[in-house]
Amino acid sequence: MSRPFQHLLVAYDGSTEARIALDRAIEISRSWSSRLTILTVYQPPTMWATSMMIPPEPPADAERKALNDLLREAVRTAEERGLSGVRGELLQGHAAESILGFAEGEHVDLVVMGSRGQSATARLLLGSVSDAVVHHARVAVLVVRSSATP
């Protein structure tokens, strides 16, 4: 019998919801002996001028270091829980687009991510990364909710 999930991707930003998603991804990876990639996406603020968009600046050295430290901590957590070969990736861009592009380009079988539990109004105004990934992914997506999320 082949493994249903050979390569898992967990979207990780260090939030409580992302930590819960990481825990679930580690459990699934261990159960199915699957590869695990932990992905953090830096989304710089978009700035608009009167007639054109100003290209975003890359993250400052301090911010890049903080994000890399966050990733290293997540990878270490997975390794301490018995996984080997865990990969951490830091990308810059729109979060949902980056997650979707990475999942497709790296032949990911399952995307695991946390839910912020935003209200319907907040999702309408701000959009939701998890909603966008669920609606546009070509692979299975598991959105993990914390027990505190209504």
For residue 24, pLDDT beyond 70: yes
pLDDT: is 125 or 36 the higher one? Answer: 36
Choose among 12, 140, 6, 31: nearest CA to 77. 12
CA 117 – CA 125 distance, rounded (Å)? 14
Average pLDDT over residues 21-34: 96
- pLDDT at residue 43, as a whole number: 77
Look up residue 92 and give its two tokens. 């810059």
CA 70 – CA 2 distance, rounded (Å)? 33
pLDDT: is 29 or 146 the higher one? Answer: 29
CA 71 – CA 29 distance, rounded (Å)? 17
SS3 4: coil
Binned at pLDDT 50, 70 and 90, residue 149 comes out as: very low
Choose among 39, 35, 12: nearest CA to 23. 12
Q: What is the mean pLDDT of the chain?
A: 85
- pLDDT at residue 115, as a whole number: 84
- Express each pLDDT in 56-114 by its tens digit: 556 577 888 899 999 999 999 999 999 999 999 999 999 999 999 999 999 999 999 99
**8 A C-beta contact, residue 34 and residue 28:** yes
CATH topology (fold) of 7-123+130-144 = Rossmann fold (3.40.50)
Q: Terminal CA-to-CA distance of the chain, rounded, Å?
A: 38
* pTM of model > 0.85: no
Domain range annotation of the chain: 7-123+130-144
- pLDDT at residue 124, as a whole number: 47
Residue 91 sits at φ, ψ, to 5 deg, of -120, 155
Binned at pLDDT 50, 70 and 90, residue 12 comes out as: very high
